[in-house]
Chain A
């Protein structure tokens, strides 16, 4: 393409009439000057894909989510052992504390009974991560334990995102009485010490017989509790964003053009406040998983026999004292790597969502 052609000269017989944006693009393309529009999403995904750790973390989390979702199917198909049942060998002996060795079927594995090694045969997932004190496969317990952690993380995260965004945007958009009362309430919730209060609720939750059982015994009750206790920080951030954005020129322009409050909030302000909301929610998910694990560790979280990583670490700690390290190492590793992945993803999202960030990373 020669240099003189970039002047948009029309045909000899008259000037071009550009009828629409699409028409302009067509004309440019006809001239061989087509431009691929670069959207915010393109910029975001390019930046995120450059963040190697965040990408690894994303794949890991997707893998984990799928694994956890199909776990009951795999159990029904007989690929993994039931997480709450003791495994027995051919002679009906419970396979307590089998060390993880090898991966092929029908090999002899040693069982420690009162410090004496005996040989038993087994063919199950217990061979991969070993079995615990009650002869349950640590492998399938780690997988099923992920269900509780991810449920708590996702439900609490969604709840925080919803509550924090609603409260924060209302407070930020309507100054005066609404702002004052909402923020005082937020201060109140932020003032509650998370772990001590969560322990109290976790302790009495199973005794609240007027609540449905899915709320009192499973991960869902803990998730809602943690969601309710931790939206304060996000609400403050969203409010600050709204306060600064509502004074910006583009919002003023929209208001001058006669846009309704609803349109201004949803079309103009909220999309610009999305990045702190997303980043903060990601970090809250990590925290919620840790706190749920801590509650279960202390015995005030998800009740046994439902496996959770926190309770498994508590149990594994007692076993590791006696030399059975696998009951501690595998759930501990699962917990740390999941939270680590979430934090790396949060870090990557923070970088990718920042429009002032150049595409290059150090």
Chain B
């Protein structure tokens, strides 16, 4: 298993290198890039010269790439206090191996693993570490600061969407499987097809116009806001007022992202539950006269939930992609809308930083998915 994870990590690193080269090369191929706007003004000649030298835009592409790569992976500030989170991370990784080794068949293993992943994320987030990811061409600010001021918003949106999708999708799929071919099941199937076929921006704009705009026009009550994350007077509100304001802004973009994931979860959960329901050991449970409720909750559900773990991890990539579009529709100040503006101006330090964060997230989530799957299902063996 250690060899397996190491191999996966190496492949992941190669993928990330390839991703960075492809995107860097593409951005360079566009020619001129960030300075094109300045070129329109003839008096900017000196400034262009200065900026070109400052950012090293006159050097060959491979040199620029190597400089970027070196800066991207080398921490600029690194104090002794960072030792604590690093030790925590190492302990978590070591503990994960132990868990995976000795608690293979137990659900607890999966839960503890999940807690460890959260611990890793929290400790990394609290690490007092800073990278020199360059300076954003458009604003001139540090890319690192810019990215981290926006990441919270994306996390809030993404996790709310994931939570909603799981909360609704999994029970929906289970209910559909238990009442297979009922009217509700058929309705759910058609609904899932419809959701799969609806692009996220159609959902987003539809919700925005109907629930945020027309609902207020028709009823006179402001239920949802059209755009933004908080109203200007947010700081002065009471706790509940802040809560209400947050939800009124958050729900529509979160629902837009969640709806499509939700359809996927419901379909997947239904299929997995049906497979379990038709298995021999369930027939045994039925034959020995267990109550239907016990059969479904204790015998079927536990095994039927395993495959969804993989889907959740892979879905993270989808949620990131969905966030790019949804954030730009709802004016959500997260990484997705930042990415769009960065691309628009070919601000490549910023574009590279965000693309690499997305890539790293996907690589890690895929590995986590495979490990979780093995921990929860003892039949899985790593090659």
Q: Which residues of A contact B (CB under 8 A)?
A: 184, 187-188, 191-197, 199-201, 203-204, 207-209, 286, 290, 293-294, 297-298, 300, 310, 313-314, 316-317, 320-321, 328, 332, 335-336, 339-340, 342-344, 347, 362
Instruction: Check B355 for interface membership: any CB of A closer than 8 A.
Output: yes
Q: Chain B residues near A298 (CB, 8 Å)?
A: 324-325, 328, 340
Q: Nearest residue in B to A283 (C-beta to C-beta)?
A: B196
Given contacts A196-B324, A320-B205, contact A191 B362 (CB under 8 A): yes
Given contacts A204-B30, A300-B343, A328-B205, contact A187 B11 (CB under 8 A): yes
Q: How far is the CA of A290 from the CA of B30 in the complex (A)?
A: 25
Assess whether A208 is in contact with B29, with CB atoms less than 8 Å apart: yes
Given contacts A191-B363, A320-B209, contact A184 B202 (CB under 8 A): no
Please report whether the interface of chain A is mostly helix, strand, loop or mixed according to DSSP: helix
Q: How far is the CA of A294 from the CA of B19 in the complex (A)?
A: 21
Q: Chain B residues near A194 (CB, 8 Å)?
A: 321
Assess whether B359 is in contact with A314, with CB atoms less than 8 Å apart: no
Given contacts A191-B363, A317-B209, A362-B181, contact A196 B201 (CB under 8 A): no
Q: Which residues of B contact A (CB under 8 A)?
A: 11-12, 14-16, 18-19, 22-23, 26-27, 29-32, 181, 193-194, 196-202, 205-206, 208-209, 213, 317, 320-321, 324-325, 328-329, 339-340, 343-344, 346, 351, 354-355, 358-359, 362-363
Assess whether B201 is in contact with A191, with CB atoms less than 8 Å apart: no
Assess whether B201 is in contact with A294, with CB atoms less than 8 Å apart: yes
Q: Chain A residues near B362 (CB, 8 Å)?
A: 191, 193
Please report whether the interface of chain B is mostly helix, strand, loop or mixed according to DSSP: helix
Q: Among B12, B193, B317, which residue has its beta carbon within 8 angstroms of that of A193?
A: B317
Assess whether B31 is in contact with A314, with CB atoms less than 8 Å apart: no
Given contacts A203-B343, A207-B30, A298-B325, 13 further A-B contacts (CB under 8 A): A191-B18, A191-B19, A192-B18, A193-B321, A200-B355, A201-B26, A203-B344, A204-B346, A294-B201, A317-B205, A328-B209, A332-B202, A336-B202
Q: Which of A192, A195, A196, A209 gathers the greatest number of chain B CB atoms within 10 Å?
A: A196
Q: How far is the CA of A342 from the CA of B199 in the complex (A)?
A: 14
Assess whether B198 is in contact with A336, with CB atoms less than 8 Å apart: yes
Assess whether B343 is in contact with A200, with CB atoms less than 8 Å apart: yes
The 7 closest A-B pairs by CB, nearest first: A191-B15, A204-B30, A195-B321, A340-B197, A339-B197, A317-B205, A207-B30
